[in-house]
Homo-oligomer: A and B are copies of this chain.
């Protein structure tokens, strides 16, 4: 059975869930073009998640995917929080921000029983997880991300229906969950065939795939389908910010890095001032997702002045497929060969 038959879609194209850069509109456009649209739920309140799921149910004529983060809730360290704010203090001064007003909210919630209840109600065809898996009682039909062969074997042993092989080229948060060592991260060209060699479930390639040539290359390497994120970021249906869109269109997009300065967890984005000056990997950034709270006021001030210096400019290593065209058109063109 092909991945398309398995998921009930026409094209072996999955739109990557991109929390913060899209809602149901992008997912609906891709679903109705024959791919698998995805709704990222990591940043949504239960109320907004309910509204987005209702919109998808009403407007998507095909199956869609709902994505969750499965990190262990962080333990707050007063000491690390203090070190992190001290590192950010020069920037607070530069932007006239009163550091005492910044709360330490968590920002990204892991998958919970409340999420599970909403899924029971809306019954999305596909559920996917990043950063491992939830507890077995919350896990039914699912696919999940692996960034190493070891993670893929772990996921298969726990019964996932498909595995996303997330190569090191991929933008946004890395699915890495069995270690925190960034040297374990493998490029798509090496990761995909090695996972495909070792597991029996379908393998979906992610990382560096930006156009029809990339889709063909991934299929040649053993993928049952592909997951594409970055290429969709300039589509009108995405909610990508103005500074993020500008960065993706510039030569700056040629240099990305895996960094933990935005959330405390490894994620790939375009190198900007905060990545250059405090990262790319900071030993004092608080645990995921706590690092974000202290950075957000800087991001807001800088963006209001037209600067992306403190914004998470998520991007994979191949932004050459980003185009300002409707997501349905982009989806169809990803399958066009030659």
A residues with CB within 8 A of B: 148-150, 167-169, 183-184, 186-191, 193-194, 197, 207-211, 213-214, 216-222, 254-258, 271, 280, 316-318, 320
Contacts and interface: CB of A to CB of B under 8 A. Distances in A.
Contacts of A169: 186-187, 189-190
Contacts of A186: 169, 317-318
A150 B252 CA distance: 12
Contacts of A194: 254, 318, 320
B220 A183 contact: no
Given A187-B169, A208-B187, A317-B187, A254 B149 contact: yes
A187 B167 contact: yes
Given A214-B221, A220-B220, A208 B189 contact: yes
Contacts of A258: 183
B188 A210 contact: no
A229 to B, nearest CB: 13
A255 B183 contact: yes
Given A187-B167, A187-B188, A217 B213 contact: no
Contact of A213 (B187, B220, B320): B220
Contacts of A218: 189, 217
A174 to B, nearest CB: 13
A102 to B, nearest CB: 28
